[in-house]
Structure formats: structure tokens, C-alpha cells
């Protein structure tokens, strides 16, 4: 039983060089037909984040509900969300996008979602670096151990989730549309634009148990001196996050393996 669970990790390790190379190619191919090429991949989310800062800080006069400048509070959370959202959506559709590889018997289908996650990571790391640079300008230097930990959490959660969503999107194409709607809902129900302090204590605890809240708040609080969601209540939210992630991976892995034999037929 355990060896079957570890099969995915063995396949990923065995094909790590191929996966990395295809991930780089995937990122370049997204913008292959444009004059500026991959620059658009960085420009679009950067302008998106900048627009939110201008609208909420200078037009709507929002604040961080704390001692921190709004831009220092907002950018890390939005950068983490954009990374997670883009990686989940692209990886979930990856098997359909790489249908020509699925039909090759010798190709390891398990690594296809990882290819898209690597591709999205280039933009995600760029946005995270922007958040770090801007916060540093305001003299808020992040705890880099926390940054590395949250990035590891994000990648692990994305891989666990997309083991399930990529398989389901392949065999049930309509699920891709549902996933787009769900990600929109998750964005507004995750404290990216609004602050957890706006909620009652009971609701605040409830929302902190969500994996996306853990990732967004964990990265945001790397720039702040207060106790973080990672260590709060003796690490309770960290335990909840990892339990959800592990269960999600086991479930997604079982679904992926069960439906993998049908991929070539439905594509």
C-alpha cells in the first residue's frame, strides 16, 4: 500500500530533469506568438497587483487595520494567491493541453501537472520577489525561513490538490468551468483584500483553518513581528493544514490512478 502511494514521488524524481525542462518550455510557449514574449507573463500579474493597490489604498482609502502600510500588508497576500490560483488552474487543465503526450505509451503522464506548476512558478516567484522588494523599501524585511517554509507548503498543497483536479478535469471537461468559479469564490473568501480582524473570534478561527488562508496569512506575516498563523495556538493551524494536504494527496492520488487508464480514450 505504501509503495503504491510513493509511486508518484518515484516517477517525479526519476523524471526530474525532463519535468524541469518541459516546465521551462511550457512557460516560454505561453507567450510564443507575442512580440515581448515572456515579459507579458510577468507584466500582467504585476499590473493587476498594482491596480489593486491604487484602487484600495488611494481611491477607497483602505488600510491594513494595523501598524503596517497597506502595500506591505496587501502585496504578499496577493502575490501568494496569484501564484496558487494560476498554478492550480493551469495544472488542472494540463493533461488536456498535453493530450499528444498522454497518447504516447512511454510518457509518464503523472508528471504533466507538475510541468504546468513549474511553469507557473516562474511568475509566482517573480511576484513574491516584488512583494519582498517593496516591503524592504518600507523597511519590513521578511523572515526568510518563513518564506521558504510557506513556499514549500504552497507547492505541496498545489501538487496534492491538482492530483485530483487534473484527473477530474480530464474525464469530466465541465469540471474546468466549475473550478474557475470555485477559485473566484475562494479568492473572495480568503483574507487577501479584507482582514481577518473584521470577523468575530469564532469565524476568525474557522477561516484560519482553510489552506488558502494559511498560505496567504503565513506569507504575509513573514513580514510582521507578531505571532504568525504558523505557530498560533501551539501550531494548531499548521497541523490542520498538513492533515488536509496529506488527505487531499492520498485522495487525489487514488482518483488519478483510477482514471489514468481512461485519459487516452477521452482525449
Summarize the confidence of residues 237-254 as an average pLDDT: 95
Task: Note whether residue 127 is domain-resident.
Answer: yes
pLDDT tens column, 61-117 = 666 666 788 888 889 999 999 999 999 999 999 999 888 888 776 788 999 999 999
Rounded CA-CA distance 170/101 in Å is 13
Which of 65-74, 171-180, 218-227, 254-263 has the least mean pLDDT? 65-74
Task: Note whether residue 36 is domain-resident.
Answer: no
Summarize the confidence of residues 6-15 as an average pLDDT: 85
Rounded CA-CA distance 219/235 in Å is 15
Domain count for the chain: 1
Percent of the chain clearing pLDDT 70 (strictly above) = 92
Q: What is the reported pLDDT for 251?
A: 94
Residues near 18 by beta carbon (within 8 Å), at least 6 away in sequence: 111
Task: Note whether residue 254 is domain-resident.
Answer: yes
Q: Which residue has the higher pLDDT, 193 or 42?
A: 193
Q: Which domain holds residue 196?
A: 2-31+58-266
Element (H, E) at 121: helix 112-137
18: Cα separation from own chain's centroid = 22
Task: Note whether residue 49 is domain-resident.
Answer: no
Rounded CA-CA distance 23/122 in Å is 9
What is the average pLDDT score of the chain?
88
Quick one: cell of 149? Answer: 517554509
**Confidence check: pLDDT of 59 > 90:** no
Task: Note whether residue 37 is domain-resident.
Answer: no
DSSP single-letter state for residue 198? G
Rounded CA-CA distance 201/166 in Å is 36
Residues near 267 by beta carbon (within 8 Å), at least 6 away in sequence: 95, 96, 99, 102, 103, 170
pLDDT tens column, 142-177 = 999 999 999 999 999 999 999 999 999 999 999 999
Task: Note whether residue 51 is domain-resident.
Answer: no
Please state, in angstroms and as integers, the Cα–Cα distance from residue 102 to each residue in 97, 98, 107, 234, 262, following that order.
Answer: 10, 7, 7, 45, 10
Task: Note whether residue 47 is domain-resident.
Answer: no
Quick one: cell of 67? Answer: 501598524
Q: What is the reported pLDDT for 112?
A: 92
Task: Note whether residue 48 is domain-resident.
Answer: no
Amino acid at each position: 500500500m505504501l509503495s503504491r502511494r510513493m509511486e508518484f514521488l518515484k516517477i517525479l524524481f526519476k523524471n526530474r530533469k525532463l519535468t524541469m525542462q518541459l516546465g521551462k518550455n511550457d512557460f516560454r510557449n505561453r507567450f510564443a506568438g507575442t512580440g515581448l514574449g515572456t515579459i507579458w507573463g510577468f507584466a500582467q500579474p504585476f499590473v493587476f497587483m498594482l491596480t489593486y493597490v491604487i484602487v484600495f489604498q488611494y481611491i477607497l482609502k483602505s488600510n491594513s487595520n494595523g501598524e503596517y502600510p497597506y502595500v506591505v500588508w496587501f502585496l504578499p497576500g496577493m502575490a501568494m494567491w496569484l501564484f496558487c490560483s494560476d498554478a492550480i488552474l493551469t495544472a488542472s487543465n494540463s493533461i488536456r493541453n498535453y493530450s499528444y503526450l498522454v497518447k504516447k505509451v512511454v510518457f509518464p503522464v503523472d508528471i504533466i501537472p507538475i510541468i504546468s506548476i513549474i511553469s507557473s512558478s516562474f511568475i509566482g516567484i517573480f511576484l513574491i520577489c516584488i512583494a519582498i522588494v517593496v516591503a524592504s523599501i518600507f523597511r519590513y524585511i521578511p523572515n526568510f525561513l518563513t518564506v521558504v517554509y510557506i513556499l514549500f507548503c504552497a507547492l505541496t498543497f498545489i501538487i496534492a490538490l491538482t492530483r485530483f483536479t487534473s484527473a477530474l478535469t480530464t474525464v469530466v471537461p465541465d469540471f474546468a468551468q466549475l473550478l474557475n468559479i470555485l477559485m473566484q469564490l475562494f479568492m473572495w473568501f480568503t483574507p487577501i483584500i479584507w482582514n481577518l480582524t473584521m470577523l468575530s473570534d469564532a469565524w476568525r478561527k474557522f477561516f484560519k483553518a482553510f489552506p488558502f488562508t494559511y498560505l496567504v496569512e503565513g506569507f504575509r506575516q513573514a513580514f510582521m513581528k507578531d505571532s504568525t498563523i504558523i505557530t498560533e495556538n501551539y501550531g494548531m493551524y499548521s497541523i490542520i493544514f498538513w492533515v488536509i494536504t496529506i488527505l487531499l494527496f492520498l485522495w487525489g492520488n487514488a482518483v488519478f490512478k483510477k482514471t489514468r487508464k481512461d485519459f487516452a480514450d477521452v482525449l
